Every structure is written in C-alpha cells, then in structure tokens.
Chain A
Amino acid sequence: MKIERTTPKTLTLNQRRQSFAEVVTNLTPAEAQFETYRCFYCWDAPCQKGCPAEVEIPQFIWSIRSGNVAGAADRIYRANPLGSICGRVCPTEALCEKACISKQVNIPIAIGHLQRYACDQRLAGGGPLFSYPPISGGRVAIIGAGPAGLACAHFLRLAGRQVALFEPEEKLGGLLTWGIPAYRLAPETTQAEVKAIAGSIEWHQEKVDASRAQVILQEFDAVFLGIGKGVPARLQIPGSDLAGVRSAVQFLRDVAAGRGGFHDLVGKEVGTIGGGATAMDAARCSLRLGAGRATVFYRRTQEEMPAFASEYDAALDEGAEFVWLAAPIAIEASEGRLSVQFERMELGQPDQSGRRSPVPTGSRFTLKLDVLLEALPSEPDPTLMLLLDKNPKVFTGGDLAGGGTVVQAVADGKEAARKINEWLIQGGAR
C-alpha cells in the first residue's frame, strides 16, 4: 500500500502569473500531522547526514508528531538559525529527501515542508527565537550579511563573542533579501529570522573597501569574509552594451527592492542567458511582470543545467520556454528591439565540473527579442580577496568558498564560527 506524501497547497498557475505571493503555502496542522506518521524515525538517519546544517530531522518530526511543535522548531533552530528560510529554499530533493529511507518503499517524507511548518508556527507564536549569553570576550568582524555571515555571527554570539557586521545594503540577508524572489521566499520570513540574529550584534552599514579591510583586520581578533559572489559576469560579445541587455542579478535586485519601471516588460519577449537559479528566477519574474514570452537560452542541455529540478519544473509550469545548446555571439539594435545571433552548440567531452562541455558547431540562428537578461556565473569582488591571502585570522564560507545553496552557507558559517572560536581560545593572533 502506498501512502501518498502530504504536500501543501500551491497557488494556481493563473495566480502565479499575476502575483509575487509565495507559490507554496504552509502545511496545515492536519497535513503536517499526517506527514509525520509516514516518517520511520530512522536511527542514525541518512536524511540528517544529507543536511549540511545537521538538523536533527527524525527528532524534530517526532516532536511535531507528539504535538510539541515549538520544541520541534527550537531543535531545528539549534542547528540552523535560518530554519524557516531553508524549509522554503533548500533543494531538499538533492539533500535530506534524497537520502530519506521512505524513498526506498514509497515517496520521501516532505522534510522541507515540515521544517517550514514547525518554524513558521514558532515564528507566529512570538517570543525570542534565540537567547544569547552576555559577551565574554573576543571581537569578530563579519563582512557580508548573507546566510553565511549571519550564521557565523549567530554561532559566535552563542559562544559569547562580540560580533560586528559590515553590510552596506539597507537590509540584511544578502541573496536571501536581494536574490531570491518573494514567490519562493517571503521577505517577512527572511526579515523575521534575520532580525532574531541581528538584534544581538552591531551592524555597521558601510561598504568595506581594501583599505577599510586593513583597518578592520587590525581592530578585530578575527574576520569572517562572507561576501559571496557579488559581481555577475557580463557577456563579452558585440552589442552586449546595448540598452536592452541587462544583468539578471541586477534585475532580480530591482524586483526585490520594488523599484518601478517594470511595465516595460508587458507583452515583451524576454530572453535569459544561463542555466542556474538566477536564470530560472529571471524568467519567472519576467512572466509575473507581464512578459509575453520568457525564453531561457542555455549553451548545454537540461542535463548539465546547474538549476535544481524543482526550480526548472516551476519555471516550465509557469510558461518559461527553454532553448538548449544555444550561445549568443552578437547583438544588434533593430527597430527598437534586439536582434540576437546565437550559435548552435553540441556536447563535447566533460569539463572540469564533470559536465559535458558545449562545443560550437558553426551553425547559427537569429532571434528578435525585446530584453536580454544575462544570468551568467558570478565572481567575488576582487578587492577584498587580498584579505584571504594566507592570513590566519581571516575565515570564509558561503558562495565565496563554493557554497551554492543557502543551507551550505549556513553550514559554512557555523563551521567558521567553530574554527574562529577555537582560534580565539588558543589565543588568536597573540
């Protein structure tokens, strides 16, 4: 007998095309309860090993089952201070749920949805999420307030360290705030968890350049660099400086900031270059803003695409179109539109990433588009990379260190906090 997985309701496609509201709703108490009954409560559970943040998954599901939902949430929060965020944005199919033992006889437990359920109930119940001890010594500077920096700050504060956070933006959260659209992660959720951490640390709202970094390095006992990869690569082809060609990262930022001027997408044909999460979100945002057509052009195929299956499926559901094995080579302005020339690619030998590489075929085609969004791999800001140069008091994590997911950033921040703490206990730079 197959007992179906209980998943939350999602918005209809029509609603999704018109709104930035979260696509996936929260489980109801009855739904969450049903789902917990399917959990085997495995010993030495593989799901837990699949979680970079080491959330005690069987134990928290057991607590939801017993009716101790707040206890479940606090257990999640002990391992991951961004529990509700990760419950929403974790690619669970590639992490905990991939390892779920239920998968062997049935469908994996909806671990992400249950985590979100417990944390959301806890947030709705009010009361402080964390209780930090008084500061007992050790000053640490954290540069960059994304998930890695916030997690590092949180665990350092739990260890009684003083933490100063350097983040120039008007809101904390890094990509959580500026990169993940509201339909995947409600800004209120991000801010609720971010504020629970931020309340216990000093926030210096300033941009850290190379010379400021040197001063910080002198003033603090240790530095955590969590600046991510903030500089998106741009197309280096003829015409890539035309007005209709934009950075997808900047586009998502503008959407998150609620900056106007989106009416110009209504009815337009929007092309996106890339195959990662940013490309999927650029297409999905375009459609929500009224684009007549949103097409993603990727130089390899679906198989090699860095976006997770769930992100791709959602984009596809919402009407995004995909053109595989196509790379732009030149752009021209043409009657107020863009005339984009693509080269057909084919798959060659695997590259360093292990994925088959795109090889030009010489065959070309041209398409007319109104807007071209570049969602190419980003690079870290080079000005601060000097800090990393063999300096034992500088630690790093998150996307800067390879990261790739929010939960990996949390895990990195947690691990860095442990190392920094050890470093401070051993006497640090002295």
Chain B
Amino acid sequence: MKPDLSLEFCGVRFPNPFVLAAAPTTDDAEMVARGLEAGWAGAVLKTTSVESETVELVYPQMGGIEWNGQKLHGMINIDLISQRHIDQVEKDVATLKKAFPQKVILASIMGSRREHWQELVGRLEAAGVDMIECSFSCPHGMPERGMGSTIGQNPELTERTARWVKEAAKRVPVVIKLTPNVTDILPMAQAVKDSGADAVAAINSVLGLIGIDLDTYSPLPSVDGMGIYGGFTGPAIKPIALHCVSKIAKNIDIPVAAVGGINSWRDAAEFLLVGARNLQLCTAPMHFGFRIIDDLLDGLSRYLETKGLTRVEDLVGLALPKLTTYEHLSRAHKVKSVIDPEACIRCDLCYIACRDGGHMAIQLDAERLPKTDDDKCVGCALCPLVCPVQAISMQRITA
C-alpha cells in the first residue's frame, strides 16, 4: 500500500506536503489551476495588498548564478508583491476554491497599516480562503516603505502586526512568513507565537547581490544601468533555510512551513525530518515547471516505504533530537579517510585538497594513486567531498 502523504498543518489537511509558494507562479489563477491539476496540494497566491497600495515594478527582475554548467544554482529577484490587488485576488480565491475544493488555497498579504491588514483578512475570509500568510519578510523594495522585512526584523513590530491579523481572522489560520535576514530568527518566531498567530513559514529570500556586469559596472539585474539588492533563492539557500526551520521547530512550540531551496524529494524529506509540517517551493517550479511534482511525490513515497513508514506524518521531526550543541558532540568518535583504489580515477583532487587545505595526510604513489597516511589524517572529511567518483569514504576507527 502506498504511504499516506497527507499532512495536517494548522488544522487543515493537505493532500500532500507540497505547496506552491507565493511567487510569479501563483499570480495568475490559470497558472495556479495548472499547478493544482499537476498534483500540488495547494498554493499561496502571490502577496496582495489593498487597492490604494501602488505597486510599480521594474524590469528586468531576475538574475542567476550557474555552477559548472548547472543553471540557477541560485536565483535573485527584485520583483515585488503582486500588482493585482485584493479585488482581483478575492475573485481568484473564490474561483480556485470552487474548482479545487480538495486543495488548499492560501493567500499572502502585506499591509502598511492595521486597517489594511485587517481589511485584507476579512475580504479573503469572505472569499473562502483556507489560510492566510503574511509577508513580514520581503527583503527588497517594500522595506523602503516600512513594509516587508522591516516588520520581520523587529520582534515588537512582528508581534504587534501578527496580533492585528490574528484579531481579524475569525475563521482561518494565520501563518507569518519570516525573513532570514536577522542575526537570530528565534526571537521573531517567538514573537509570532506570543501574538497568537498559528504558524510560521521560514524562510523568505536571503538579501543578496547576484553580480556586477564587468563591462558596464552595473549591479545585476541591471535596470537601465542601476541595480539594488535582491532576494536570493534556489538550491544555494537550502542550508540557511534548513538551519532556520530546524531551529524554530526545536525551540518554539509552533508549526513550521518550510520554504527555501527545496528542489527534490530528498530536500523535502530533510525539511520534514527537521520538523516542517508543510513545504513550499518556488524557484524549482519556476525553473522546471509544475511537472516536478511527479518525482517529488513518487520519490518521497518510495523513501517512506524504504524506511518502513506508512505516513509522511511519521517522518516529521525525527532528526530534531539529533541536533545538539558543540559541547555535546562526542570527542571519542574518530574517523579516517579510506580511498578505494579500484574506484579511484587518479584525478588527485583529494591529494591537492588535503595538501593545501587539509592536513597533508594524502600521499601519491608512483602511479599517482592517492593513499591516506593514517597517522596524519585527522578525519576532517574534506577529501570525500572533492572526490568526483565517490571513491573515498570516512570510516570509523574502533579502538
């Protein structure tokens, strides 16, 4: 029997953990419908605002970094919230909810004043939304107006604003989306908890500068020769997101939706293991399309089977007890690098990495075959990371 992939989050049962994050992918009801048909459990509609809010976008908006031929290892955007105001989004909510009653429709909102936040909540609830997400976290553009991450970088503003929203939400759960652009995310998550809001989503994009045009000296993306800092996303930010999600899940009693760098079912499983109860994706479907849901569901399902688990629920948080502090890590645990001469292709990248970046513990024989000097090897595990053919393993030394 196939494992049960459904997962409850803030009292709402999602048919599977995979949700389209607030982004260009969710700014159009037709696109959202296509995503939901493809198999996504739900969508967070792109962040909307009251009609009086002006949203003037600039173009181009996107920049990317590639790594050895792989495109979009990380992506940056200087997009803003949706140009479609609440009057349009409330209609989308109603349409989508009618067409997909089993799927979860979330709306993301941003406001500058109490009455704006509360008006947005009221109108979305009336339109039939399932859940409301609040962006306290957009790192570019909006903070210049005291919105976005200006709120999420301050625990008092976070608590106060979350309270306004929660106050207005009569029927649906409220999720606060946090920014990683803080020295410590815990006080922010605690502020959400204190406000009475139902959950946090972590993380929004990481403030970054993707590059400089070497010909024109313009920051990228270049808008008529000028540039700004943008929101960095994609596979490269996964470790930052994994840190923030696990930290909140381990320390604060509040449900967490994970966002940031999820690309494959493996990433998904990792976020579930550190306590996420809901997974949002943006850059991956923007890059490859909604079709990636196939392998996300199939891969996760098969992974659960190999672990003998029947419900995705059983995976949530299993890694958390294994997160500790440096002080509590074992000093008795010793490993050393073992190189398989059969698998080795003699590129000697392990040798140069160890020689110039490790402990000078790998020697080459006359045939360029690397060998670990057990006396010098401290077991740092740099060499298996650089080996292109998985010929090196770290093996435990038993006393």
Residues of A within 8 A of B (CB): 1, 3, 30, 37, 41, 43, 59, 62-63, 66-68, 70-71
Contacts and interface: CB of A to CB of B under 8 A. Distances in A.
30 contacts: A3-B69, A30-B389, A30-B390, A37-B69, A37-B70, A41-B288, A43-B289, A59-B291, A59-B294, A59-B295, A62-B295, A63-B295, A63-B298, A63-B299, A66-B264, A66-B265, A66-B266, A66-B295, A67-B264, A67-B266, A68-B265, A68-B295, A68-B298, A68-B299, A68-B302, A70-B302, A71-B295, A71-B298, A71-B299, A71-B302
Interface string B281-299: 0000000110110110011
Contacts of B288: 41
A198 to B, nearest CB: 26
Interface in B240-290: 264-266, 288-289
B146 to A, nearest CB: 41
Interface of B is mostly: helix
B73 to A, nearest CB: 12
Interface residues of B, number: 16
Contacts of B264: 66-67
A67 B299 contact: yes
Contacts of A67: 264, 266, 299
Nearest to B389: A30
A342 B390 CA distance: 57
Nearest to B292: A62
Nearest to B298: A71
Contacts of A66: 264-266, 295, 299
A14 B37 CA distance: 55
Contacts of B70: 37
A278 to B, nearest CB: 39
A62 B287 CA distance: 13
Interface of B: 69-70, 264-266, 288-289, 291-292, 294-295, 298-299, 302, 389-390
Query: 5 tightest CB-CB pairs across the interface, nearest first?
Result: A68-B299, A66-B264, A71-B298, A63-B295, A30-B389
A70 B299 CA distance: 9
B66 to A, nearest CB: 12
Contacts of B289: 43
A21 B81 CA distance: 62
Nearest to A67: B266
Contacts of B302: 68, 70-71
A59 B294 CA distance: 8
A41 B70 CA distance: 12
B250 to A, nearest CB: 27
Contacts of A1: 69
A66 B299 CA distance: 8
Contacts of B265: 66, 68
A71 B70 CA distance: 23
B248 to A, nearest CB: 27
Nearest to B391: A30
B199 to A, nearest CB: 28
Given A66-B295, A66-B299, A68-B298, 17 more contacts: A1-B69, A30-B389, A37-B69, A41-B288, A43-B289, A59-B295, A63-B298, A66-B264, A66-B265, A66-B266, A67-B264, A68-B295, A68-B302, A71-B295, A71-B298, A71-B299, A71-B302
Nearest to B345: A30
Contacts of A37: 69-70
Contacts of A30: 389-390
Nearest to A1: B69
Contacts of A41: 288
Nearest to A37: B70
Contacts of B69: 1, 3, 37
Nearest to A65: B264
A110 B384 CA distance: 27
Nearest to B263: A66
A4 to B, nearest CB: 12
A59 B297 CA distance: 13
Contacts of B389: 30
A3 B69 CA distance: 9
B291 to A, nearest CB: 7
A114 to B, nearest CB: 15
Contacts of A43: 289
B163 to A, nearest CB: 42
A1 B66 CA distance: 14
A59 B265 CA distance: 14
B221 to A, nearest CB: 23
A63 B291 CA distance: 12
A66 to B, nearest CB: 4
Nearest to A34: B388
B393 to A, nearest CB: 13
A63 B266 CA distance: 11
Contacts of B266: 66-67
A41 B292 CA distance: 10
Interface centre among A3, A43, A68, A70 (most CB of B within 10 A): A68
A70 B298 CA distance: 10
Nearest to B291: A59
A68 B295 CA distance: 8
Contacts of A59: 291, 294-295
Contacts of A70: 302
A66 B270 CA distance: 14
A84 B265 CA distance: 25
A73 to B, nearest CB: 11
Contacts of A63: 295, 298-299
Interface centre among A37, A62, A63, A66 (most CB of B within 10 A): A66
B261 to A, nearest CB: 15
A365 to B, nearest CB: 51
A68 B297 CA distance: 11
Nearest to A33: B390
A125 to B, nearest CB: 11
A70 B301 CA distance: 11
Contacts of B295: 59, 62-63, 66, 68, 71
A71 B298 CA distance: 7
A3 B265 CA distance: 27
